[in-house]
Amino acid sequence: MDKKGRVGLGIIGLLLGILWLFPFYLIVTNSFKTPKGIFASVLSFPHPSTGDNYVNSFKALNFIGSLTNSLIITVCSVLLIILCSSMAAYALQRNHSKLSGGILMLFISAMLIPFQSVMIPLTANFGAVHFLNMWGLVIMYLGFDASLSVFLYQGTLASIPIAMDESAEIEGASRWQIFTKVIFPMLSPITVTVAILNIIAIWNDYLLPSLVLPQAQYTIPLQMFNFFGEYTKQWHLALAGITLSIIPVIIFYLFAQKWIIKGVTDGAVK
């Protein structure tokens, strides 16, 4: 392409980039304004600016508490999903029988069932055994997210020759040792993909936790929803809350960007 074309594309890109970032600009600048300041001008830079909104919304959101809850739930769920679905995929892929084919179809068909079809009996059942809390939620995430994860692991396992298993077996390794010492380390690229896809989905989930969690275990999205109900139309506080709640996500994104893009690509393409 000639230089002129490149400059032209650069300008189009720049304009689109600004358009995409503009919502962030509005949220962040207004989060530093007083209610009067927002009323006077939404588009301008904060003048005078205040950090009080952050102090107040930090408390009202119980930010440390909800951040901790979000972290515990996401980390535990993702670790459990990685462990269980890689094991399940290994069992299914290394065993070519009608039974394992049938079980794999079962996993895939579960992906089609929308959450609304199961939510009421699900919460009723877990409630009956007093499991409507973050540990019940972790088990639910395993059930809901195992399908895609097993599917992704299964595809990768097909490309790892069975000779790897056999040579380890000859050397006297148990099935568990073969899996943990030989196979699982070879799966690390797809493990990153599985982790990324699940982290994004679980961290941001609202509906399921809202049906499951008691208030003391509220995650960031749940706190955010409550906070909005309480401070309706107090945009100066709400915007500071929004900005606070997206900071961890943006940090994670900028830090893990390379793997996130790869994970999303693999997840959709495979």
Q: Smaller CB distance to other proteins: residue 73 or 92?
A: 92
Residue 179 or 217 having the CB closest to other proteins: 179
Indicate the residue among 55 and 207 with the shorter CB distance to other proteins.
Answer: 207
Residues 76-95 that bind other proteins (CB under 8 A): 84-85, 87-88, 90-92, 94-95
15 binds other proteins (CB under 8 A): no
The verdict on 177 binding other proteins (CB under 8 A) reads no
Span near other proteins by CB under 8 A; candidates 45-53, 60-68, 184-192, 257-265: 257-265
Using the rule CB under 8 A, is 245 a contact of other proteins? yes
19 by Cβ neighbours in 10 Å (0-12 / 13-18 / 19+) ranks as exposed
Q: Does 247 bind other proteins (CB under 8 A)?
A: no
Q: Smallest gap, in angstroms, from Cβ of residue 64 to other proteins?
A: 18
Choice from 55, 79, 125, 158 touching other proteins (CB under 8 A): 125
204's tokens: 């941001």
Rg for the chain (alpha carbons), in Å?
24
- Told to check if 117 binds other proteins by CB under 8 A, we report yes
Among 103, 108, 160, 182, binds other proteins (CB under 8 A): 103
Query: By CB under 8 A, is residue 105 in contact with other proteins?
Result: no
Provide the terminal-to-terminal Cα distance of the chain, rounded to the nearest Å.
Answer: 33
Identify residues 44-83 at the interface with other proteins (CB under 8 A).
none
Please name the amino acid found at residue 193.
Answer: T
Q: Distance of CA 259 to CAs 76, 111, 196, 230, Å?
A: 20, 24, 8, 38
For residues 87 and 79, give the distance between their C-alpha atoms in angstroms, rounded to a whole number.
Answer: 12
Backbone phi and psi for residue 79, each to the nearest 5 degrees, phi listed first: -60, -45
Using rule CB under 8 A, residue 124 touches other proteins: yes
**Pattern 190-229, other proteins, x by CB under 8 A:** ----------x--xxxxx-------------x--xx--x-
How far is Cα of residue 249 from the mean position of the Cα atoms in its chain?
A: 10
Task: For residue 41, give the DSSP letter.
Answer: -
Q: Which of 61, 67, 212, 239 binds other proteins (CB under 8 A)?
A: 239
Residue 152: other Cβ atoms inside 10 A: 23
Q: Which listed range, 13-21, 48-56, 58-66, 184-192, lies at the site for other proteins (CB under 8 A)?
A: 13-21
Least gap, CB of 256 to other proteins (angstroms): 10
* Count, residues in the chain: 270
Question: 217, exposed or middle or buried, with CB in 10 Å at 0-12, 13-18, 19+?
Answer: buried
CA-based nearest residue to 78, from 9, 148, 128, 180: 148
The continuous run of DSSP H or E covering 163 comes out as helix 162-170
- Among 32, 37, 38, 217, interactor with other proteins by CB under 8 A: 38
